[in-house]
Amino acid sequence: MMYKCSFNDIHCSVNDFVPFTSFLYGACYTFNAALKNNTNRNILYANEYGGDGKLSIGLYIHSHQYVLHLPSGFGAIALVHGNTQLPNIEAAGIELAPGQRHKLGYKKKTTYLLPSPYTPCTKKISPNMQAMFEYYNNTNYGYSEMLCYQLCGQVYAYEQCGCVNPILWNGRKLYISSMNQVVFAPLCEFGKMCYKEKIGELLISSSLMKSYCSECLQECAIENFIIQTSSLSQPGEWEMEKIKQFVENSTIPLATNWSCTWQDEIRKNYLTINVVRETIPVASQYYTSKYGDIVQINLFNQPTIIISNPDFADYILRRNGKNYTLRFGNSLGLEYLGMKNKGIIWNRNIQRWKYQRLNFFQKALNNKLLDDAKYVSNDATDYVLKHLDKYEIETNIIDTMDLLRSITFTITCHLFLDLPIGIISIEKTKYYVNSIVQYFKAWEYFLLKPTQIYDEKQTNKHQKSIKQLNNVVNELISKRVMNNNCLFINSLLNALNNQQITKEEMNQCILEMLIAGTDTSSVTMFYFLLALCDRKELEEQLLKELKENSYQILINGLKESMRFKPVGPVIMRCTINDDIYNNTHIKNGTNIIINLVDMHRRNEYFVQGNQFNLINVEDKDLSNTNNEKNVFLPFGIGPKECVGRWLAKVEMEIIIEQLILNYSFKRANGTKTLEELQTRWDIAQQPTDPGYMLIQKR
């Protein structure tokens, strides 16, 4: 029985679950399954109610009611799966013991295959599969390659044996092509071997597989959930009385000697399950919402303080920022990435970090470059838009993220690497941009995963991505046009010639300029365009204002996009020397996580914190560094603030102005609204799915 249920701290009930029957576990229930033609119950997204996707369920299993001799253990079985995926709980279910509070932390990985003619993938649901789905109470499940093979095995077993695999009892309504009719097949007896032998015969025969299973192609979208489990003992003494009342008020008979043994019975039968997205930002949000705006925990076996208190955050970043210029991260991962003691993003050698930041990045990002950036951003946008058809997945529907990244990449190459606009073809630009995207995935893998759970296959894959982007850097250096106007690349080359930096340091500085200059601004602009798609009045006001050479809505719209979905959801720091803040002692080596997502959503600082509304940022100034209570920090603040913040502001404003003046945008091909959009919370908050939009000339 379900004792309690909440999703993002909002109560849920049995009505939010869809029942189905498992041949192995009996009665099962699915939360948040996609349903057909249902207007009364919508899919819940992870950011629903302003939360981060936490499902919490308390269960009492009544083990004394189990059928004697049948169960091999007592507890619950859980499975995290996509809401259009058939729950394969028999093969992938996780066993959860009573007397525990279980945490299932998950990461979702989706692999997309191109449709025909590029790959033979399919979404087509066969009649046999559709018949099986009818056992799952109006759920809108999609095509499954594994299920397809199971069902063609059922058809062959029926034709050869006159019955089907009894384990797949819900796959017995079959279309038999040789008979041209649908049959309700009888189940074979467990002891008889015919169905096993015939299914084995099918699987090893290429001719039979071609005849019976030719429809079983790869899915076009493959969803995998990577689960990490942990648990604590429970319930606490303070919970016992409430659980006792719940059990006694139920209609299920009490266990023998309940009045004497009820405490033991509760410990033997009660469990809770917390399902959460498992990343550092989500962990931060979880602890902040549960324990307040200053939380001390042990993360990855290291002391960690999670902060969403603006004054404490300002102390760490600005007032005593020199003591917090390091970032924490996996040391071996930094070596894999080439970031160990090189570049400026994750360089833990303070002297080398200061030298490279001051002499190459800050020196290059001067007022002259910001003036040049206005014209370069305009020209780069023009150049990429002339090749708009290269970004179409079908007529007038584009991959918006790919388009925006190509524009910012072109700007970065011109301003910092002496590469004239147009010298790199659009095809090559898209290849380079994809190399940056793959590098980000490697970055998140190596920095956030504990070394002991590195997977050999994944490690090799991400190492290839790192090597690929380093090859891109070398290609770009070789393409540069020699002149004395580009301060960034010229300063690096002069320092290399004077043996002030190594070749590896120079390449890492260029690589970091590419990834920082290309990705973060593009994601913010995508969020703003997505917001405009569902706010036609705001779009019309923006268009009118831009035609009048006014920019307040544009500026506030970009600021609100950075507030509502900060590309950097947390700021990570590491303490250099022992410190103290308001009686909170901070030891050398303590990890600091500043939770921007929580800080940027608080209603005491923002009028409508959990909604996208420009009123939230009308009085927020990106350059405000004198207020001791900085509540709006999309670029950070202090000695380690984003070095390219003013360039990002200039290029985003120019690009969005040109796009909105010339084109209209609408969501397409299943792209979700800004509020519904699924994002990946790792080091950066990015969309998990492609951002397709219909783009039309005004």
Task: List, as residue ranges, the binding site for heme.
Answer: 642
Residues in the annotated binding site: 642
Q: Identify whether the C-beta of residue 377 lies closer than 8 Å to the C-beta of residue 384.
A: no
Q: What CA–CA distance (Å, rounded) separates 343 from 516?
A: 12
* Of 25, 17, 16, residue with least CA distance to 96: 25
Beta bridge partners of 101: 232, 272
- Cα 515 from Cα 346, distance rounded (Å): 13
Q: Is 242 helix (H, G, I), strand (E, B) or coil?
A: helix
Buried-exposed string 264-298: b where 16+ CB fall within 10 A, e elsewhere: ebbbbbbbbbbbbbbbbbbbbbbbbbeeebbbeee
Q: What's the token pair of residue 532?
A: 């405009």
Decide: helix, strand or coil at residue 28: strand
What does the DSSP 8-state code read for residue 124?
P
| The two structure tokens encoding residue 456 | 């050999």
Question: Residue 551 and residue 534: Cα distance in Å, rounded?
Answer: 20
Tracing tokens 């699987």 back to the chain, one arrives at 203
Element (H, E) at 119: none
**7 Cβ partners below 8 Å, 6+ apart?**
16, 31, 32, 44, 48, 49, 51, 54, 55, 56
Closest CA to 506 of 360, 386, 609, 364: 360
Q: CB of 543 within 8 A of CB of 665?
A: no
- The letter for the amino acid at 546 is L
Distance in angstroms (rounded) separating the CA atoms of residues 274 and 272: 7
DSSP string, 421-451: TTSS-HHHHHHHHHHHHHHHHHHHHHHHS-G
Helix (H, G, I), strand (E, B) or coil at 179: coil
